[in-house]
Amino acid sequence: MVQASSEHATADAQVAMPADVDLHARPAAEFVRTAMRFSSEVWVAVGEREANAKSLLSILALGARRGTSLRLRAEGADAAIALETLAAAVSQLRD
């Protein structure tokens, strides 16, 4: 679910990794390419670790595995649509 605040143009969402996909090079690259389509700053967090969603190395360092819950956060003019798109992209990731 994406929650947006128009005051500060921020949005937050929580999404689970598919049960059959780890966030390794190919799925991570797809995720980063999607994040880069937006002007907003976008972050993804696993547990207490947070990474820039537009940095492949940072995403890989999170080590997200099958079924892991990801917290998405965006700030900027297109924050809400960025997170809606990224949440949908995560649910469609394939190995």
> Residue 34 is part of a domain; what is its CATH number?
3.30.1340.10
Q: 24 an active-site residue?
A: yes
Catalytic member of 4, 9, 16, 24: 24
The boundaries of the domain holding residue 43 are 2-91
User: Taking residues 43-60, what's their average pLDDT?
Assistant: 97
Q: Which residues pair with 43 in a beta bridge?
A: 52, 73
* Core vs surface per residue 34-69: b (16+ CB within 10 A) or e: bbeebebbbbbbbeeeebebbbbebbbebebeeebe
The token pair at 39 is: 């002007």
Q: How far apart are CA 11 and CA 79, in angstroms?
A: 6
> What is the pLDDT at residue 1?
52
pTM for the model stands at 0.87
Residue 34 has pLDDT above 70, yes or no: yes
Q: Which H helix or E strand runs over 42?
A: strand 41-46
3-state secondary structure of 36: coil
Domain count, the chain: 1
Q: What is the pLDDT of residues 3-20, one digit of tens each?
A: 555 556 899 999 999 999
